[in-house]
């Protein structure tokens, strides 16, 4: 019984000490800043499918100069119900398109998301997204940070 009281007193003392260090309840919590330091994207474009209802493809060039290694784990496209990072790989002795594994990046990396290679597929595109317009793509990296950038919308026959 005496040991229980000692433990209770120790826990109470630790709690009071933490509260003294923590500041008042009226202090504002720090806000998260959206972005990925060191990440930049250029040449962003979304190419619509030649047949309405089919997915669009998103291409861009990515450069990373951040100090810590990251993994790109998700892509979202404004105006699409869903999006998926895609790459090409071999399966049953055939090269085919498939969902990409998380994409690791480190300082100095430059990646091209381009036709016939790594890209983002955007599914169930809004009819409001038309050639000549723009939309946004958001990449989510390990740790949950996000990087959003604009892409120009192109018709199926336009230069990719």
CATH number (domain holding residue 44): 2.60.40.1890
CA angle 57, 63, 67 (to 5 degrees): 135
SS3 34: coil
Answer whether residue 6 is part of any domain: no
Q: Which domain holds residue 47?
A: 39-154
How confident is the model over 29-42, as pLDDT tens digits? 333 446 899 999 99
Sign of the Cα pseudo-torsion (144, 149, 152, 158, in order): negative
The residues, any chain, with a CB within 8 Å of residue 52's CB and separated by 6 or more, are none
How confident is the model over 75-120, as pLDDT tens digits? 999 999 999 999 988 888 888 888 999 999 999 999 999 999 999 9
Answer whether residue 70 is part of any domain: yes
Answer whether residue 26 is part of any domain: no
- Distance CA(57)–CA(115), nearest Å, equals 8
Query: What's this model's pTM, rounded to 2 decimal places?
Result: 0.76
| Domains held by the chain: number | 1
| pLDDT for the residue numbered 128 | 96
What token pair was written down for 40? Answer: 């930049």
Mean pLDDT in the chain? 84
Answer whether residue 62 is part of any domain: yes
């Amino acid at each position: 019984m005496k040991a229980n009281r000692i433990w209770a007193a120790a826990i109470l003392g630790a709690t009071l000490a933490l509260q003294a260090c923590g500041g008042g309840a009226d202090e504002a919590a720090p806000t998260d800043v959206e972005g990925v330091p060191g990440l930049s994207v250029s040449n962003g474009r979304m190419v619509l499918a030649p047949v309405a209802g089919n997915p669009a493809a998103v291409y861009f060039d990515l450069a990373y100069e951040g100090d810590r290694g990251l993994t790109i784990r998700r892509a979202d496209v404004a105006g699409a119900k869903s999006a998926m990072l895609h790459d090409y790989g071999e399966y049953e002795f055939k090269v085919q398109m498939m969902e990409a594994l998380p994409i690791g990046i480190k300082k100095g990396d430059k990646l091209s998301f381009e036709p016939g290679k790594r890209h983002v597929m955007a599914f169930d595109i809004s009819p409001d997204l038309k050639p000549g317009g723009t939309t946004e793509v958001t990449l989510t990296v390990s740790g949950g940070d996000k990087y959003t950038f604009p892409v120009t919308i192109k018709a199926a026959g336009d230069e990719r």
